[in-house]
A and B are shown apart, each in its own frame.
Chain A
Amino acid sequence: MTSRRGAPSSSSTVSKDKYTIILPTYNEKENLPIITWLINSELEKNFVDYEIIIVEDNSPDGTLEIAKQLQKIYGENKIQIISRPGKMGLGTAYMDGIKKANGNWIILMDADLSHHPKFIPQFIEQQKKHNYDIVTGTRYQFGGGVYGWNFNRKLTSRVANYIASVLLTPGVSDLTGSFRLYRKEVLEKLISVNKSKGYVFQIEMMVRANQYNYTIGEVPITFVDRIFGVSNLDSGEIVGYLKSVLNLFLTI
């Protein structure tokens, strides 16, 4: 590391970009080694300086042990672990991750292999091309999509996205997606004002980003849902979603 590391990240060509990937985990004992390996191989291939922060919510299946072993393999400068007493929500997981982050960019993604790390270099490239504050993966643009959902699930997702889009006009095609790249300061700002939970948390991120005039880019991604078992939405979740979106619409 050169002494120029201390320079502000806005001084373009001189300072290097470091990308922190925050992985909230709960019962991801099997997926964690795979996703770590994928992140490592995809990013090393593209000469990206990265680190992974695993935010472990005291999983009963021993994910913490696996995380510690991975840390021994990849090194403490590549993997940090934050062990929390239990499931405390995505927002606080991200907040805790940011506090320990050494990078100037934060990447948020799912740890259950529904997001493939091969898209991360594409996010980075897109960001550099247009100097975006945020780059979000989208399932709904050409080149993007979903694997593993039946027709009803896809339809529900599309309709939900459409309803939220019409009410909140966020300027992005995929509102509930959670595979995103943020400038560190931008993410800190957005999380501090975010009051929602679940799907609507991700929506509120985009809406607030628009409110503060942050620039957002999009990259088509493929979302691969659980290979085993069906992920179904129950009607209570649907109504909860609609209520939250309406609430957001009325309070923004």
Chain B
Amino acid sequence: MGVSDKFIGFVMLLFSIFVFAYYTMWVIVTPFIVSDHWIQQYFLPREYGIIIPLVLVVVGITAIGTFLGLVMIKSKKNK
């Protein structure tokens, strides 16, 4: 059980590093690279660099808020 948990953790770590590196490259490095360079095709149009995190944050907060709300309602009903 411990080995597979370590594996899941490792995968999560790798994924986070990848996302961090990609996002950093995207936002900080690509603006300085000539627009017809071959590497630019691996990155989405730059507006998405703002839109995607924004959407994730909104969805995340909504989900957490809904979860908290549901639990609080359930506990009030039980009292």
Contacts and interface: CB of A to CB of B under 8 A. Distances in A.
Contact of B5 (A154, A235, A242): A154
A236 B74 contact: yes
B8 A235 contact: no
B41 interface: no
B72 A239 contact: yes
A235 B66 CA distance: 13
B8 A151 contact: yes
A147 B5 CA distance: 11
A236 B74 CA distance: 9
A150 interface: yes
B1 A236 contact: no
Contact of B71 (A151, A154, A236): A236
Interface centre among B71, B72, B74 (most CB of A within 10 A): B71
B75 A236 contact: yes
A150 B1 contact: yes
B15 interface: no
Task: Tell me what chain B mostly uses at the interface: helix, strand, loop, or mixed.
Answer: helix
A242 B65 CA distance: 13
Task: Tell me what chain A mostly uses at the interface: helix, strand, loop, or mixed.
Answer: helix
Contact of B67 (A147, A150, A154, A235): A235
Contact of A239 (B1, B5, B71): B71
Interface string B59-79: 000000001100110110000
Nearest to B72: A239
A238 B1 CA distance: 24
Interface string A138-173: 000000000100110010000000000000000000
Nearest to B69: A239
Contacts of A150: 1, 5
Contacts of B71: 235-236, 238-239
Q: Which 4 A-B pairs have the closest CB atoms?
A: A239-B71, A235-B71, A151-B5, A236-B75
Interface string B1-38: 11011001000000000000000000000000000000
A235 B67 CA distance: 9
B68 A239 contact: yes
15 contacts: A147-B2, A150-B1, A151-B4, A151-B5, A151-B8, A154-B5, A235-B71, A235-B74, A236-B71, A236-B74, A236-B75, A238-B71, A239-B68, A239-B72, A239-B75
